[in-house]
Copies of this chain bind each other. A is one copy, B any other.
Amino acid sequence: MAEILKGAPVAAALNEKIQARVKTLEAGGVTPTLAIVRVGVEPNDISYERTAQKRCAAVGVEPRSVTLPEGCGQGRLIEILHGLNSDSSVHGVLLFRPLPEYMDDGAVRNALIPEKDVDGITDASLAGVFAGIKKGYPPCTAQACMEILDFYGIDPKGKRAVVIGRSLVVGKPVAMMLLSKHATVTLCHTRTIDMPSVCRNAEILVVSAGRPAMIGREYLSPGQTVIDVGINILDDGSLRGDVNFADAAEIAAAATPVPGGVGTVTTSVLLAHVVDAANF
């Protein structure tokens, strides 16, 4: 039976550190502040915004919502971001994406300065992750995977790590972060041939495939740590990861559940970034 790598204690430990740092900042007259920028009224964005607001309040980070109407011009959005860049009372900016289709994603993203890019969306942050240096911030979900490994004492150094998925928010950055921790890293994806045997060979398996319960017993082997980044909403409204959890629990040495795993840690990473940014 695998050790269940729950996200809650990881988030709690991060939150405790964040709260201590918020107190120090407050004593110095600084309230760490996160601007949440949203264009339009996409229900998922609004739901995530509410959660983020609550989580901010819980640790003493001030959320500040900046909402632009649907159809708002790209120039106006960039102006808003420039304003937030120069507003010293704002330390981090979370911009909901995908942006409306008529906007140039690159132009908008890169209007933000890396010092306030707490969700790792600018080219500077991406280059920082790629180079393995401190520049901007890495994408929060990718870092949440690393925080879980760290909390549970699983050192990637010298281990064979396999990452399924090559997105810019999870697969590629988590691969670079595992590499910085001296893992031997393999990136798999839909074109990978015989993925089960590649995955069985992993000591750390990070799954961000976007397909519910895709990773079953034929991908797993004893001794593995399995990090499931998948968040799939089934027809009945329930959440399911990319890993068949029953198989992982039976075969692997350790596995994150869904819900209650990586997703639980992501917002705490975002808030830790805001506090970092406020300390800058």
Is A157 interfacial (CB-CB < 8 Å)?
yes
Which of A248-277 touch B at CB < 8 Å?
A: none
Encode contact with B along A158-183: 1 for CB under 8 Å, 0 otherwise.
11100000101000100110010010
Encode contact with B along A30-70: 1 for CB under 8 Å, 0 otherwise.
00000000000000000000000000000000000000000
Compute how far the CA of A256 lies from the CA of B126 in the bound complex, rounded to whole angstroms: 32
**Complex contact B158–A193 (CB within 8 A):** yes
Q: How far is the CB of A106 from chain B (nearest CB, A)?
A: 7
Q: How far is the CB of A98 from chain B (nearest CB, A)?
A: 15
Central interface residue in A129, A159, A182, A187, by most chain B CB within 10 Å:
A187
**Complex contact B189–A166 (CB within 8 A):** no
Compute how far the CA of A182 lies from the CA of B187 in the bound complex, rounded to whole angstroms: 10
Q: Which residue of B lies closest to A133 (CB)?
A: B106
Number of A residues near B (Cβ < 8 Å) is 31
Is A131 interfacial (CB-CB < 8 Å)?
yes
**Complex contact A187–B189 (CB within 8 A):** no
A residues with CB within 8 A of B: 106, 123-124, 126-131, 135, 157-160, 166, 168, 172, 175-176, 179, 182, 184-189, 191-193, 198
| Besides A123-B124, A157-B191, 18 new A-B residue pairs in contact (Cβ under 8 A), listed by A number | A123-B123, A123-B126, A124-B127, A126-B127, A126-B130, A126-B131, A130-B168, A130-B172, A158-B191, A158-B193, A159-B193, A182-B189, A184-B187, A184-B188, A184-B193, A185-B186, A185-B187, A186-B187
